[in-house]
A and B are shown apart, each in its own frame.
Chain A
Amino acid sequence: MPIPLLQATGLSCERDERLLFTGVDLAVRAGSLLRVEGPNGAGKTTLLRILAGLHSGYEGEILWCGESVHRVREHFLRNLLYIGHRPGIKPLLTPLENLAALLACHPGSHRDPLEGALEAVELLPFAHMPCHHLSAGQQRRVALARLYLSDEPLWILDEAFTAIDRAGVESLERLLEKRMAAGGAIILTTHHRLSISGAESLDLLAHTGEALAL
């Protein structure tokens, strides 16, 4: 069996004097999708931020391709695409300018024209309009357009489908399936019902830290 792309063992996290979760083990392999589940406040976002390396207040070990993520951080970042629930879009810039800036920083992404990606998220007519004129869902689509251009094998998507309409969710689901078929690994959280075959899930409720809380 090949080494998982990303593997975490014994993750626990304490925030604001509360044990969010403890003893979380997970492994994502090439071609798999892991959905992190749990009610609001269970620590889904925190777990994803920990995995991406944005949150340092945790205990446990995270391995990238079998090596400690701290040791191979640059390689890890080179191969990671993270979209948080704040989409990372400058409201004063147009979708095209935003995409160009984001892609310049993750240059592995395709050389395909950016317009193609904007067309895929149905934003081509708005390509030259400052993003603050767009709706919340459209701004989110600008960020998601990166997915169509990405060649990073690991995606971490926090609340990926928030504010996206039904048709948009469906086309994203197709994208995720193709991605898995191509050998990409995906970790995501969403409150939508997903219809993707072969998705695994991790329920954070099973890892709450009541036993340790006094």
Chain B
Amino acid sequence: MWQFFHKLGSPKWFYGIAGRLLPWFLVPGLLLLLTGIVWGLAFAPPDYLQGNSYRIIYIHVPTAFLAQACYVMMAVAGLVTLVWRMKLADVFVKAVAPVGAVVTFLALFTGAVWGKPTWGTWWIWDARLTSMLILLFLYFGAIALGNAIADEKSAAKAVAVLVLVGVVNIPIIKYSVEWWNTLHQPATLKLTEKPSMPPEMWVPLVLSILGLYLLFGWLACLRMQTEILHRERRARWVQELVE
């Protein structure tokens, strides 16, 4: 077990493994996501209340899920960085933070697009959208801090502390925003709370969620490989690889 852990910490070993994993993430990920989206957009039945405009959930919900999951993953990796000083964990955080920010932005954007037909306006201070906006701020903070510190090791540790503080705060932020929301505009139409969704609707949703997670895995591996090459550029194995 410990040996495995130790091996996992070695960038060279991970570089090889990630290379072999890439197609296994990419191909099923693309297939699932395409199936889910095509099914959802073209074949799933329209919603009795929102008609066809609800179909954006096949993009909105997966991105919103991933946006939050990605931050939690970064926090776990941050903990590993601080406690076990595993190099790969910092590589993960650095590689994944911009991806998380983009995914969060997509969730916000699709939410706004959905808002137009539903509420008649591009932006509404809905609890979920607001939480998502704050999550985007948290991502920006982590990226900005990482870029501001020149020394790689210090940057990784500082970002790890920040992300851990952030992850403790996320539930508090979500709770407070929901509380604030009921205070100001009780009983608006909730975006994703369907009392019961028929299988024709949620199966494609699950497929696209899975697909997006797999694609995220692919992108994470790819970006981690790049980051590893950059960090280990003076190591012999990287120089041999380049030649």
Q: How far is the CA of A214 from the CA of B153 in the complex (A)?
A: 20
Asked if B151 contacts A16 (CB within 8 A), the reply is yes
Number of A-B contacts (CB under 8 A): 8
Residue in chain A with minimal CB distance to B153: A57
User: Given the complex, which residues of A lie within 8 Å of B150, measured CB to CB?
Assistant: 16
Tell me if B151 and A214 are in contact (CB < 8 A).
no
In the bound complex, residues from chain A placing their C-beta under 8 Å from that of B239 are 214
Q: Which of B149-200 contact A (CB under 8 A)?
A: 150-151, 153-154
> Which residues of B have CB within 8 Å of A16?
150-151
Interface residue? B6 (CB, 8 A): no
Taking Cβ atoms with an 8 Å cutoff, the residues of B that contact A are 150-151, 153-154, 234, 239
Task: Return chain A residues, CB-CB under 8 Å to B154.
Answer: 57
Residues from chain B with a CB closer than 8 A to the CB of A57 are 151, 153-154
| Whole-angstrom CA separation of A16 from B153 in the bound complex | 10
Question: Contact string, A12-40, partner B, CB cutoff 8 A, digits 1/0?
Answer: 00011000000000000000000000000
A16–B151 CA distance with the chains assembled, in angstroms: 6
Q: Could you list 6 further interchain pairs (A-B, Cβ under 8 angstroms) beyond the known A16-B150, A214-B239?
A: A15-B151, A16-B151, A57-B151, A57-B153, A57-B154, A214-B234
Chain A residues within 8 Å of B151, by CB: 15-16, 57
- How far is the CB of B23 from the nearest CB of chain A, in Å? 33
What is the minimal beta-carbon distance from A191 to any residue of chain B, in angstroms?
A: 27
8 A-B pairs within 8 Å (CB atoms) are namely: A15-B151, A16-B150, A16-B151, A57-B151, A57-B153, A57-B154, A214-B234, A214-B239
Bound state CA distance, A57 and B150, in angstroms? 14
Interchain CA distance A142-B153 in the complex, whole Å: 35
Nearest CB of chain B from residue A95's CB, rounded to whole Å: 34
